[in-house]
């Protein structure tokens, strides 16, 4: 790849063949990647973070859902250049070492998964929801999870899992109530 | 492929003017998808991400100015828009899925010129216009003059939409937006209808009307024959039916997996009537 690299300031920067610095799950990564690679490919192929799945590849199915600055986004429709300087979170950063996140435990308990392929995306979408609304209503859950497709569970158990996690999280961390709600 | 990140708009326009294969990148959802599908070839991508000042929604003396980099989610959640045009907030909330709304921008949506998209239909009804920057200048274009054909717009090389201007809301005015979907909730519509009416103080006479349609032709558009009829004839059931017939005849709908051309025309006939009534209710509700 060629690039007419110019310096910063008001000049445009071109990072064709440069190393990119990304912040993922609180860690800094230096990646030898073209800015025009898809973030999903960089996560999976360059960094080995294969928890983020590719389903449809056209932004419809939600399996590649990640958080960018706390907001759910689609890794298959994002170039890695657009991810630079932003806080990326993937499913690999959700558990605390060996301890599952309450959302992960409740998906297991409520049977919110069967084959598991869509689950990383479901968890990330749910995580974004609960940060925004610690005690979501059923319709808020339905709205927030729209476009995260699951071909196994029939969705009710996913909704139940999110409700259980919300109840657990607000009970154990009551100070989180109402934070960041819109 | 070059990836350029200019930090001001003038520079971005200059870079975008640098050849046919220069493509402007905002939220990326459409550009990345089209490149993946080999429908779009880019030799250089000009990312607007570092351009400052295009992600604000501001009240102006003439209405609301929306920066082109505002996302659909940001617009739907804006208190200013929720208060002024709650219908517009709902229209932006009806686009795709939460993830896409968090990424996709209003400027990118309009620039693509896709006749299936919802925001242009809503914005046509609200009488929006676009501020377009080009190297060394800028111009205003009414949205109703912006869409030329299937994916063809008023934008030429070096042009970048910088702001979308939505006019002030007139007293006794109301809007509606109906997205009629035949498949899933995150699909494109079979038919989109948006209406904006300005009524007299008694809410009886129609002073002005804008009736916008989407997914029923090569571009989103306003049905001027229907608008004129509505102003002349008013809002009796019979009159509204005549208006809806006129709207249906002004369409040139495609047949696809969502609906046949014939069904789309039928839908326009029905949905336009609902949308007119709903816009009138919005006007009355606002007065209470």
Closest A-chain CA to B12: A12
In chain A, whose CA is at the least distance from the CA of B77? A182
pLDDT at res. B247: 98
Record the pTM.
0.93
Residues of A engaging B, defined by a Cβ cutoff of 8 Å: 1-4, 9-16, 34-36, 38, 57-60, 62, 65, 68, 71-74, 76-79, 81-82, 125, 128, 143-144, 146-148, 182
The answer to whether B219 and B113 are in contact (CB under 8 A) is yes
- What is the distance in angstroms between the Cα of A61 and the nearest Cα belonging to chain B? 10
Res. B238 pLDDT band, cuts 50 70 90: very high
Q: Is the ipTM, as predicted for this complex, more than 0.90?
A: yes
Per-residue tens of pLDDT for chain A, all 182 residues: 333 333 333 344 454 456 899 999 999 999 999 999 999 999 999 999 999 999 999 999 999 999 999 999 999 999 999 999 999 999 999 999 999 999 999 999 999 999 999 999 999 999 999 999 999 999 999 999 999 999 999 999 999 999 999 999 999 876 554 444 43
What pLDDT sits at residue B234? Answer: 81
Q: At what angle do helices A102-110 and A119-132 cross, to 10 degrees?
A: 120
- Opening angle at CA B154, ends B44 and A35, nearest 5: 20
As a whole number of angstroms, the distance between CA B142 and CA B61 comes to 18
Q: HEC states along B236-275?
A: CHHHHHHHHHHHHHCCCCCCCCCCCHHHHHHHHHHHHHHH
Q: Contacts of residue A65 in chain B, CB cutoff 8 Å? A: 99
CA–CA distances in Å: residue A30 to residues A33, B149, B172, B189: 9, 44, 58, 42
Q: In the structure, what pLDDT confidence band is assigned to residue B232 with cuts at 50, 70 and 90?
A: confident
DSSP class of residue A96 equals B
3-state secondary structure of B67: strand
- Helix ranges (DSSP H) in chain B: 9-16, 29-36, 72-76, 79-84, 86-93, 98-103, 106-112, 119-125, 224-233, 237-249, 261-287
Chain A contact for B208, CB < 8 A? no
State chain B's mean pLDDT as an integer: 96
Decide if B52 touches A, using CB distance below 8 A. Answer: no
Tell me which residue of B95, B194, B118, B112 sits closest to B146, measured CA to CA: B112
Model pLDDT, residue A182: 38
Q: Which pLDDT value is given to residue A4?
A: 36
Shortest distance between the Cα of B112 and any Cα of chain A, in A, equals 16
User: Among B20, B35, B22, B30, which Cα is nearest to B72's?
Assistant: B30
> Is the CB of residue B180 less than 8 Å from the CB of residue B190?
yes
**pLDDT attached to residue B184:** 81
């Amino acid at each position: 790849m060629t690039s007419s690299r110019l310096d910063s300031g008001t000049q445009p920067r071109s990072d064709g063949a440069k190393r990119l610095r990304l912040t993922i799950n609180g860690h800094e990564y230096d990646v030898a990647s073209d800015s025009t690679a898809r973030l999903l490919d960089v996560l999976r192929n360059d960094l080995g973070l294969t928890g983020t799945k590719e389903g449809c590849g056209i932004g419809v199915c939600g399996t590649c859902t990640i958080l960018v600055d706390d907001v759910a986004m689609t890794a298959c429709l994002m170039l890695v250049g657009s991810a630079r300087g932003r806080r990326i979170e993937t499913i690999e950063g959700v558990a605390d070492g060996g301890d599952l996140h309450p959302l992960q435990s409740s998906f297991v308990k409520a049977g919110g998964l069967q084959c598991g392929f869509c689950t990383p995306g479901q968890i990330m979408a749910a995580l974004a929801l609960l940060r925004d609304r610690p005690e979501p209503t059923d319709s808020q859950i339905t709205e927030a999870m729209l476009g995260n497709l699951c071909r196994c569970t029939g969705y009710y158990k996913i909704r139940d899992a999110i409700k259980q996690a919300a109840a657990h999280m607000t009970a154990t961390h009551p100070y989180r109530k109402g934070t960041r709600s819109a | 492929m070059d990836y350029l990140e200019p930090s001001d708009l003038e520079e971005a326009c200059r870079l975008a003017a640098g050849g046919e294969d220069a493509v402007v990148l905002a939220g990326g959802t459409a550009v990345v998808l089209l490149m993946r599908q080999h429908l779009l070839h880019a030799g250089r991508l000009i990312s607007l991400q570092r351009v400052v000042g295009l992600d604000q929604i501001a009240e102006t003396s003439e209405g609301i100015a929306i920066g082109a980099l505002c996302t659909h989610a940001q617009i739907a959640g804006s208190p200013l828009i929720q208060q002024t045009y709650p219908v517009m907030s709902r229209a932006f909330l009806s686009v795709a899925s939460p993830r896409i709304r968090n990424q996709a921008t209003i400027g990118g949506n309009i620039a693509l010129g896709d006749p299936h998209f919802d925001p242009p239909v809503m914005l046509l009804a609200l009488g929006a216009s676009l501020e377009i920057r080009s190297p060394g200048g800028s111009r205003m274009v009414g949205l109703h003059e912006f869409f030329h054909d299937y994916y063809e717009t008023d934008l030429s090389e070096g042009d970048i939409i910088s702001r979308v201007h939505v006019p002030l809301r007139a007293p006794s005015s109301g809007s509606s937006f109906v997205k009629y979907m035949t498949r899933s909730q995150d699909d494109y519509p079979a038919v989109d209808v948006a209406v904006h009416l300005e009524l007299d103080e008694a809410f009886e006479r129609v002073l002005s009307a804008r009736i916008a349609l989407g997914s029923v032709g090569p571009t989103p558009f306003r049905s001027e024959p229907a608008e004129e009829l509505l102003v002349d004839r008013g809002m009796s059931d019979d009159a509204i039916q005549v208006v809806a017939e006129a709207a249906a005849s002004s369409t040139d709908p495609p047949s696809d997996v969502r609906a046949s051309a014939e069904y789309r025309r039928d839908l326009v006939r029905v949905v336009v009537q609902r949308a007119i009534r709903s816009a009138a209710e919005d006007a009355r509700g606002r007065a209470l």
